[in-house]
């Protein structure tokens, strides 16, 4: 928790732009360089900055530990299921749900955009958790239940 | 003594690698053996098969999406292993 | 000698690999060993990505709706090294977590002091 008011004010002005930039790189991965990994790294870095400036109690109230772990796990399983559907539907000759679309627009490329978003979520949550674990060692005031 | 032995070992190792580099084609040459039929197929058919403009994204998320799946699970497994290693046993003191 | 000047990128990658290897062998501090291993990983990525460069062609993004007449750089090594970079980051994070655990148990990070404490 930093007590310097200059840093807090500048961070509160700067963080929304960093997150919008990270989401832009993640969503437009099939049109310009970037993709899931780069966008996920930027989002994870913005979450770490938020925790560093505002302290651990405020961040734990906003992003609960078990909720984010479940989000990462569900994203990974959804990636496997979607890719399995694409593979099997091309192998057996079924008609695919999402077509290719016109190249150059945002809603094109079939399943590439959802896969980018899922990979970016996994990477961002993993980077944030690794930084939390190095600083504190365990989830002290997270509402974990066995 | 230790520095001398380490430097002799490293120089031998790098000498073998440099001997292999002498036989490689120049940087940026057009006739390297790596630019073959596989690259032509990916470049020509990427836009009509997938609809994506970025060829590298089409490769890692459509033609070879299983590699990306296994690598995302590698990241997740590393997070779980770090949680196991850094877990404190018994009672930890108050903050 | 002329071939060694033409392949300047590969020679740079091999020398960087050698520097990382020397750092790994010579220093006693555990953090410096982890930095040396990271340098070795980066040099391998540099070698692979610079293998795909072709002089005079442009980046592999199709602009304007049709394939460019000048041709594209080989996109395959770049795509395959993305996975490698992520694996290197995961291994570095795990090594740093093990260093934290060693510091908790022995109180020091120098490797020869840890070996003396264990009695070798």
Report which of B83, C89, B55 is spatially closest to residue A123, judged by C-alpha positions: C89
Q: What integer is the mean pLDDT of A9-28?
A: 94
Arithmetic mean of pLDDT, A109-129? 92
Nearest 5°: CA angle at A23, between A18 and A29?
A: 130
**Nearest C-alpha neighbor of A30 from the set B70, B60, C84:** B60
Contact assignment for B14 to C98 by CB distance below 8 Å: no
Does a structural domain hold residue B81? Answer: yes
Q: Which domain holds residue C18?
A: 2-54+72-118
Choose among B76, C83, C92, B90: nearest CA to A129. Answer: B76
Could you give the CA distance from residue B44 to residue A102 in angstroms, rounded to a whole number? 17
Q: Which of residues 23-62 of B touch C (CB under 8 A)?
A: 24, 26-30, 32, 34-35, 38-39, 42-44, 46-47, 53-56, 59-60
B85 CB-near residues (< 8 Å, 6+ apart): C94, C97, C98, C101
Q: In the block, which residue shows the tokens 């098969």?
A: B49
Supply the range of the domain harboring residue B6.
Answer: 2-25+32-85
Residue A145: inside a domain: no
C42: domain CATH number is 1.10.287.3510
Average pLDDT on B62-86 reads 93
Asked if residue B46 is part of any domain, the answer here is: yes
Q: What is the distance in angstroms between the Cα of A67 and the nearest Cα belonging to chain C?
A: 22
| CA of residue C110 relative to chain centroid, distance | 24
- Residue B88: pLDDT above 60? yes
> Would you say residue B53 lies in a domain?
yes
DSSP B59: I
Q: How many CB atoms lie within 10 A of CB A29?
A: 29
C67 within a domain of the structure (yes/no): no
- Whether A141 is in a domain gets the answer no
State pLDDT tens for residues C48-93. 999 888 888 888 888 887 888 888 899 999 999 999 999 999 999 9
Residue C49 with chain A: CB contacts under 8 Å: none
pLDDT confidence of B24, banded at 50, 70, 90? Answer: confident
Let me know if residue B20 belongs to a domain.
yes
Residue A22: partners with Cβ closer than 8 Å, 6 or more residues away: A39, A40, A42, A43, A46, A124
What's the pLDDT score for residue B4? 92
Stronger pLDDT, A86 or C38, i.e. the higher one:
C38
């Amino acid at each position: 928790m930093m007590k310097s008011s200059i840093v807090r004010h500048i961070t509160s002005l700067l963080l929304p732009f960093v997150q919008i930039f990270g989401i832009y790189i993640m969503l437009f991965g099939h049109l310009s360089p970037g993709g899931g990994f780069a966008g996920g790294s930027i989002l994870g870095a913005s979450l770490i900055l938020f925790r560093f400036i505002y302290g651990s109690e405020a961040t734990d109230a906003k992003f609960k530990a078990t909720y984010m772990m479940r989000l990462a796990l569900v994203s990974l399983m959804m990636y496997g299921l979607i890719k399995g559907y694409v593979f099997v539907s091309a192998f057996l000759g079924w008609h695919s749900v999402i077509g290719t679309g016109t190249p150059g627009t945002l809603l094109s490329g079939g399943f590439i955009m959802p896969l980018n978003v899922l990979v970016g979520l996994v990477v961002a949550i993993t980077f944030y958790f690794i930084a939390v674990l190095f600083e504190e060692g365990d989830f002290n005031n997270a509402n974990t239940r066995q | 003594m230790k520095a001398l032995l380490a430097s002799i070992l490293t120089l031998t190792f790098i000498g073998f690698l440099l001997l292999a580099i002498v036989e490689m084609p120049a940087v940026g040459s057009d006739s390297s053996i790596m630019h073959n039929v596989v690259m032509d197929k990916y470049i020509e058919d990427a836009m009509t098969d997938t609809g994506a403009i970025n060829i590298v994204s089409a490769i890692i998320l459509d033609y070879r999406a299983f590699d990306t799946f296994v690598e995302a699970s590698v990241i997740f497994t590393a997070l779980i292993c770090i949680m196991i290693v850094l877990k404190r046993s018994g009672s930890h003191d108050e903050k | 000698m002329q071939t060694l000047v033409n392949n300047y990128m590969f020679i740079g990658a091999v020398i960087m690999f050698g520097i990382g290897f020397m750092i790994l062998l010579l220093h006693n501090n555990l953090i410096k060993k982890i930095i040396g291993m990271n340098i070795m990983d980066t040099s391998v990525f540099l070698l692979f990505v610079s293998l795909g460069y072709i002089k005079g062609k442009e980046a592999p993004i199709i602009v304007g709706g049709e394939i460019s007449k000048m041709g594209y750089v080989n996109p395959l090594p770049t795509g395959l090294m993305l996975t490698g970079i992520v694996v290197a980051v995961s291994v570095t994070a795990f090594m740093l977590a093990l260093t934290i655990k060693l510091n908790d148990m022995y109180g020091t990070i120098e490797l020869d002091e840890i070996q003396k404490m264990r009695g070798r």
